Amino acid sequence: MSSGCLFCGIVGGEVPANLVAEGDEWVAFRDIDPRAPSHVLVVPRRHVATLDDLAEEDDALVGALVRAAAEIARDEGLVEGGYRLVFNCGAGAGQSVYHIHLHLLGGRKFSWPPG
């Protein structure tokens, strides 16, 4: 756990969150500032600040996050209408909490390019 990290606090049960699902390596909860009717964050239990801090041995962790998001999308009824998965890396890309997290967004039409 990283001291002062909001998502570490949620993972550790010290900060309340609207939990959606959890696994051995990850926790998923609703975003407090949703950008779509369904907006869930999937975060690893272990603190990793940015995607740039991932190592080769983290490949399975990232796969677990993506797999979890797809399962949650099915549970949320998002598959037929489509959904989007987003990782932001760094302030310029919109990362505001420095603990990697995968955004699962669905329940509305998305445009391309995003931004």
Residue 113, in any domain of the structure = no
pLDDT of residue 85: 98
Question: Six-digit token pair at 92?
Answer: 């310029």
The two most distant CA atoms of the chain are separated, in Å, by 40
47 is catalytic: no
Owning domain of residue 80: 6-106
Amino acid at 94: G
| 107 backbone dihedrals φ, ψ, rounded to 5° | 95, 5
pLDDT in tens, 63-98: 999 999 999 999 999 999 999 999 999 999 999 999
- Residue 114 lies inside a defined structural domain of this protein: no
Report yes or no on 30 lying in a domain. Answer: yes
How would you label 37-74 residue by residue, b for 16+ Cβ within 10 Å and e otherwise?
ebbbbbbbbebbeeeeebeeebeebbebbeebbbebbe
Cβ–Cβ under 8 Å, residues 60 and 54: no
Structure confidence at residue 115 (pLDDT): 72
Question: Does residue 45 sit within a domain?
Answer: yes
The CA-based angle 9-83-68, given to 5 degrees, is: 45
- The pLDDT score that the predictor gives to residue 5 is 96
As a whole number, the mean pLDDT across the chain is 96
Q: What is the CATH number of the domain that holds 25?
A: 3.30.428.10
The number of folded domains in the chain is: 1
Stretch 18-35: mean pLDDT: 97
Which of 39, 47, 99, 101 is flagged as catalytic?
101
Is residue 112 in a domain? no
The confidence band for 1, taking pLDDT boundaries of 50, 70 and 90, is low
Residue 54 belongs to some domain of the structure: yes
Does the residue 115 lie in any domain?
no
Residue 1 falls within a domain, yes or no? no
